[in-house]
Amino acid sequence: MKYNIRGENIEVTGAIRDYVEKKIGKLARYFDTEPSSDVNVNLSVYNDEQRIEVTIPMPNLLLRAEVQHLDLYAAIDLAADKLERQIRKYKTKVNRKFRQEGSPKHIFAELEKEAAEENAQAVAEADEVEIVRKKQFDLKPMDSEEAVLQMDMLGHAFYVFTNAISGDTNVVYRRKDGRYGLIEPTS
């Protein structure tokens, strides 16, 4: 993994860099081959509160953790633990799904293409709509269960994907009651 460590209002010393690489590097044990992903780490300090944001874009999965703590090293530990939980949760669900279908046991290590998800946000001002950000991404074919898992991993309220069975573009979303909804186009 290639580390991109950046500091805001803090100098990233060699000791901090080594600690981040050591902690995040331990996640490699969950993969058959070490991922070639970039690890983006943003360290910042505001009002004596240390904050770390870690983003690891991988094929078909985006790992992300954001932690605030009074101690920087404790924040790094908590972020690494959060990422580890995400990997275990995703790996367990994916392996269970493919075991049931008779596919290879270690499908998690064989993920092929990258799918980083962030959707465009719109702000309405008076009678005019202004698009303040535009993103483009590949829609990966998947079932609704995998789309819900991806949405939860990203921490978003909705997720756009291509339905693997019908080939249509679908949206899964989190409802106010905590359950999930699916939007499909009419035929």
pLDDT tens for the chain, residues 1 to 187: 788 899 888 888 999 999 999 998 888 777 766 666 788 899 999 888 889 999 888 777 778 889 999 999 999 999 999 988 888 887 776 666 655 554 443 334 333 333 333 333 333 344 466 777 887 777 888 888 888 888 888 788 888 999 888 888 999 998 888 889 999 888 6
In the prediction, which pLDDT does 172 show? Answer: 92
Contact 23, 77 (CB under 8 A): yes
In the prediction, which pLDDT does 30 show? Answer: 74
Kindly list the strands in the beta sheet with 141-142, ordered across the sheet, starting from the edge strand earlier in the chain. 141-142, 158-163, 169-174, 180-183
In the prediction, which pLDDT does 108 show? Answer: 40
| pTM passes above 0.85 | no
In the prediction, which pLDDT does 35 show? Answer: 66
d(CA 70, CA 73): 9
Question: CB-based burial of residue 159 (10 Å sphere; 0-12 exposed, 13-18 middle, 19+ buried)?
Answer: buried
In which residue are the tokens 């972020």 written?
79
Range(s) for CATH 3.30.505.50 in the chain? 135-187
108: CB partners within 8 A, 6+ apart: 30, 31, 90, 91, 94, 95
In which residue are the tokens 């009074």 written?
70
What are the tokens at 55?
Answer: 């983003």
CA-CA distances (angstroms) from residue 122 to 40, 126, 130, 132, 152? 26, 13, 6, 6, 22
Query: Residue 110: what are its φ and ψ, rounded to 5°?
Result: -105, 20
In the prediction, which pLDDT does 97 show? Answer: 61
Q: Which CATH class is domain 135-187?
A: alpha beta
Domain 2-100 CATH superfamily: Ribosome hibernation promotion factor-like (3.30.160.100)
Dihedral of alpha carbons 1, 45, 76, 150, sign: negative
Range(s) for CATH 3.30.160.100 in the chain? 2-100
